[in-house]
Structure 1
Amino acid sequence: MAAKQLAVVTGASTGIGLELARCCAEAGFDLVLAANESAIEDAAIDLRKLGVSVEAVETDLATTEGVDMLCAAVGERPIEALLANAGIGLGKAFLDQEFARIRCVIDTNITGTLYLIHRAGNQMLRRNSGRILITGSIAGFMPGSFQAVYNATKAFLDSFSFALREELRDSGVTVTCLMPGATETEFFRRADMMDTKVGTEKKDDAHEVAKAGFDAMLRGDSNIVTGLKNKIQTTIASITPNEMLARQHRKMAEPGTAKS
């Protein structure tokens, strides 16, 4: 029997990452999952019920050592799909944040993500085959007052994905950027944003977001903005002055804006 294709999914213990892994499993991919918490083992147990091989790696993807650990678990197996989803947020004003937490957001969302894509992407390029899905965000379209570092990291990823896609044009390796809006996950609780409007209002469904991103990756699309409201928001953002966008974002993310 031919071996199943392998998908690597990061940040796969909960939320969009877990649902991306579920989409892969339902499509018949074997999985290597990674996250920085023990819940990744529970995710693996659940996904094995779908009849695929699932290996869980608990590792800190904010570090090069953590990425190396994930790559060692993959070994020489060809990665057909890399779903680079690991990411964390951080609320409150920039100068009120602990710099260690700021650094962790940057190292997780950007440095670790790029290192993993560099390693897996080179493997794909040697085979002239592979798919890369990067979880960006519509947050990358606007200056994120009271979420400044997170939005900036997503702006970086959104931009990077289009540049990498062009570099790999006609190589057999595709790059797709998933750009969700606020989604029902653990993100806002972990980012300490449950006293904000965006943290407490109704959000998009994680499985629907993941399925849209997974399907776009399989099609080889350049990007997918999920949800009509988010599509409208990004269109408006493209013609709105940054100063105004920053002021609007404040109304969503400033502590104390949650509805009582």
Structure 2
Amino acid sequence: MVFRKFAIITGASTGIGFELAHLAAADGYDLLVAADEPLIDAAATDFRRHGVEVQSIEADLSTLEGVDRLLAAANGRQADLVCANAGRGLGHAFLDQDVADWRRVIDTNITGTLYLLQKILAPMVGRNDGKVLITGSIAGFIPGTFQAVYNGSKAFIDSFADAIRNEIKDADGVTVTTLMPGPTETEFFDRADLLDTSVGQQEKDDPAKVARDGWYALLAGKAHVISAWKNKLQAVAAHVTPASILAEQHRKLAEPGSGEVS
């Protein structure tokens, strides 16, 4: 019987999560992958070409029940590595958004993520072994005009990851790494209804490159990684620029109609 390492990766149907799952499979990890869409099953077929066992589950990770379904699918198998990558965006003015829409952003990006982390970190800390990658964002450094709920949720996640990392620092065999990408070429902008904005139309980072940056930082046990130099510079600038200026700059990027759709 072959005993392989086991990884759980959420938001793995497309984008950064899809690329992270490929990297894990190529490194010999059996996978449990999840997303809130049927495409996750096709993605799982792609991951199997690396010769590892792959189980896929379609689950709404904005709910505690969905996270419980994901964890139950592991059948008690110990997770050596977890990538908490599931996330949801939302564009347009906050006052124009439906409550159900902005609540789902918060429930996916914060509530579901924290519930998953609490469930998987407890046994990792108990055995003093495990690696976790949390997908935050440099958006968490910037007041997100016309993306207020999304940016706010990522500010929470970035801060939470730093706090929980310190709380468990005595479990030196457990690492928590925060991946903080900038705008990345994924389905995020379509799903968040941001295609008619400047940020939706601009050139974005390659999700495979972003995933590699996160993966290598995860394996090295680093606390943070910001993918791409321009994002690192933006993160530095965000710490010294007044919030009012940052908010106005973000307006120019995310205001509906600010981009030209051909």
* TM-score of the superposed pair, with normalisation by structure 2: 0.98
Aligned mates of 2:129, 2:80 — CA distance in 1: 7
Aligned mates of 1:58, 1:246 — CA distance in 2: 36
Matches within 5 A, 1:46-57: 46-57=46-57
Aligned to 2:225: 224
Aligned-pair CA distance for 1:169: 1.1
Aligned to 2:133: 133
2:106 pairs with 1:102: no
Q: Output one character per residue of 1:144-196: Cα deviation in whole Å (capped at 9) or x when no partner.
A: 00000000000000001111111111301100000000000000000000000
* Letter of the structure 2 residue corresponding to residue 71 of structure 1: L
Aligned to 1:207: 208
2:116 pairs with 1:116: yes
Other structure's SS at 2:50 match: coil
User: What's the RMSD between the two structures over aligned residues?
Assistant: 0.8
Unpaired segments of 5 or more residues in structure 1? Answer: none
Other structure's SS at 2:182 match: coil
* Letter of the structure 1 residue corresponding to residue 255 of structure 2: E
* Letter of the structure 1 residue corresponding to residue 124 of structure 2: M
Aligned to 2:257: 256
Q: Output one character per residue of 1:62-93: Cα deviation in whole Å (capped at 9) or x when no partner.
A: 00000000000012111111100000100000
Aligned mates of 2:119, 2:204 — CA distance in 1: 34
2:84 pairs with 1:84: yes
Aligned-pair CA distance for 1:23: 0.8
Unpaired segments of 5 or more residues in structure 2? Answer: none
Aligned mates of 1:125, 1:73 — CA distance in 2: 21
* Letter of the structure 1 residue corresponding to residue 55 of structure 2: E
Aligned mates of 2:227, 2:170 — CA distance in 1: 26
Q: Output one character per residue of 1:195-252: Cα deviation in whole Å (capped at 9) or x when no partner.
A: 0000011000000000100110000000000001000000000000111100100000
2:149 pairs with 1:149: yes
Aligned mates of 1:74, 1:173 — CA distance in 2: 20
Superposed structure 1 runs of 4+ greater than 4 Å apart = none
Aligned mates of 1:210, 1:3 — CA distance in 2: 25
Q: Report how many residues are paired.
A: 260
2:30 pairs with 1:30: yes
Aligned mates of 1:73, 1:138 — CA distance in 2: 32
* Letter of the structure 1 residue corresponding to residue 207 of structure 2: A
Aligned to 2:3: 3
Other structure's SS at 2:139 match: helix
Other structure's SS at 2:158 match: helix
Aligned-pair CA distance for 1:259: 3.2
* Letter of the structure 1 residue corresponding to residue 62 of structure 2: A
Aligned to 1:40: 40
Matches within 5 A, 1:191-202: 191-202=192-203
